Structure 1
Amino acid sequence: MRDMNYHEFEKSMNSFGDTICKEVFEENQDAIRIKKEKTAVKNFKKIFDAVFQITYEKGFQAMSMRDLSAKTQMSMGSLYGYFKGKEELLAIIQRQGRTMIERVLEPFANRPEDPVTRLKNVIKAHLFLSEKARPWFYFTFMEARNLTEDALESVIRLEEYTEEILVAILEQGERQGVFVPRNHRLTASIIKAMQQDWYLKRWKYAKRNISVDDYSDYILEIVDNFCIKQTLVSTDKGEHPCK
């Protein structure tokens, strides 16, 4: 994964959108009136894309079912065949967002590799996923302040989940003597903030011609210098320890 670039990552997730919509259909079959999987998958993709576009323009709370109907070109009756209302739609998006993140991050977090490799792989996988699924990430972060108490709690738990993955790896690395003893929870928060800056301020990096590969490599370099214990290194002036 350290050497994988975004193009290769994206190729490995070629059917990403269809997979998400298929899982939504399978998990909600009892509530969905439409029973043809192919039709449901196609329309869920249309619904999600429309929600993210409308939300970007005016916010989820301001979005009406009529807005969604107009954007998807589906009748109100057709939309209600997939979910009962906005709150149920929101719950579906949040639930599937967490499933998506778990599926991508956990294999890297649980591999029997050294802590340094695991940490870098998780950071890179999260960044690449946020590029591939930017509308989902942007929606989750930006709408958090407007959510109900239960929905907000779900977002907070997801944030804590991804931070805990980083904390666990950092703590293991400290025990093995490869990471500098620090406040690992704070370190995880800073890493998360750098990851979030990528998908929340994508315009800034596009303007500077910085790719997601450039950005991920730079974060990994920061992690190298801040987290990893350095041995004595030789210089022209002699040997000295580096933090």
Structure 2
Amino acid sequence: MDAPTLDVALFVQRFDPQSLDFYRPILARHTASIKVRRETTALPNLQKIFLQTLALSNSQGFQAMGLRDLSAATGISLGALYSYIDSKDHLLRMILEQVNDGLGQIISEQAAQPLEPRQHLTTLLRALLYTAEALHPWLFFAMMEGHHLPARPEAAASTEALPSCGQIIDAALIEVLNATRGIGQLRWADTTMAAALIKPLVTEWVLNRETFAARSLPVEHYADAVVAFVEQSLLLGP
């Protein structure tokens, strides 16, 4: 079966932070801590909170941002802000969970496609890059700030172990590389090392997107180059 043609516009539409639907999973995921349950109130306020968090983090850094800064930027009083977030650590975790959820959805959907392993690999690369384009400010934040998430000794182990977006990408690549090696179409036996070399090609789009934009290089062309490089460097057979 031929690999499906992926449309970056559909990824951008699906992960649109300007749409209130984008914030509905956050509201559902944090029913225990978000005290405002009416969607017509909660969703617009969550949108303000997260968009302004990303903007303030980009201008002054997340660690330097205070909740009073966030209150001023959103126009939501400090007391009302605590109806949505317990702390900056809680806010950070909410953003990382949203990023992880988006990546997980895309990876699972690609894995469910009835494709040959090498097609899975190239399609996964395109899907990851298109997701990186759609979720760019969120993924950039997660990569830059995710390591600041502290351990929560009072929490359950499953809550403590929030994987980084890099770990999620790495695991997905290793899985599909193992399958490709299993049918004799991978040049390298060490799939962990192969994934370690491929992953920076994905994260490069996130971390240096402005450089590519200055060159008027769309993500589709970058994805074409990444796929061609991986096919020529790592894959055997037609």
Q: Normalised by the shorter chain, which TM-score bucket?
A: 0.7 to 0.9
Q: Which runs of 5+ in 2 are unaligned?
A: 153-158
Q: In the alignment, which residue of structure 2 is the partner of 1:198?
A: 205
Take 2:117 and 2:40, find their aligned partners in 1: how far apart are those partners? 42
AA matched with 1:164: A
Q: In the alignment, which residue of structure 2 is the partner of 1:91?
A: 93
Aligned positions of 1:5-154 closer than 5 A: 5-13=7-15, 17-149=19-151, 154=162
Shift of 1:161: 2.5
Take 2:213 and 2:130, find their aligned partners in 1: how far apart are those partners? 15
Identity of aligned residues (%): 25
| Cα RMSD for the two superposed structures | 2.2
Please say if 1:207 is aligned against 2:198.
Answer: no
User: 181-190 or 53-62: which moved more?
Assistant: 181-190
The TM-score, its normalising length taken from structure 2, stands at 0.88
Q: Which runs of 5+ in 1 are unaligned?
A: 232-243
Pick closer, same or farther for the CA change 1:149–1:190 going to 2, 3 Å.
farther
Q: In the alignment, which residue of structure 2 is the partner of 1:229?
A: 236
Pick closer, same or farther for the CA change 1:12–1:29 going to 2, 3 Å.
closer
Q: Deviations over 1:72-93 (max 9, x none)?
A: 1111111111111111111111
Take 1:11 and 1:203, find their aligned partners in 2: how far apart are those partners? 21
Contact 1:2 1:124 in 2 (8 A): no
Please say if 1:162 is aligned against 2:143.
Answer: no
Q: Deviations over 1:32-81 (max 9, x none)?
A: 22121121111111111011011111111111011101111111111111
Q: In the alignment, which residue of structure 2 is the partner of 1:185?
A: 192
The TM-score, its normalising length taken from structure 1, stands at 0.86
Pick closer, same or farther for the CA change 1:203–1:114 going to 2, 3 Å.
same
User: 193-202 or 106-115: which moved more?
Assistant: 106-115
Whichever of the two has the greater Rg, that structure is 1
Q: In the alignment, which residue of structure 1 is the partner of 2:156?
A: none
SS at match of 1:29: coil
Pick closer, same or farther for the CA change 1:15–1:90 going to 2, 3 Å.
closer
Take 1:61 and 1:15, find their aligned partners in 2: how far apart are those partners? 22
Q: Deviations over 1:84-118 (max 9, x none)?
A: 11111111111222111101111102323101111
Take 1:38 and 1:79, find their aligned partners in 2: how far apart are those partners? 16
Of structures 1 and 2, the one with the larger relative CO (CA 8 A, separation 6+) is 2
Shift of 1:16: 8.1
Paired positions, count: 230
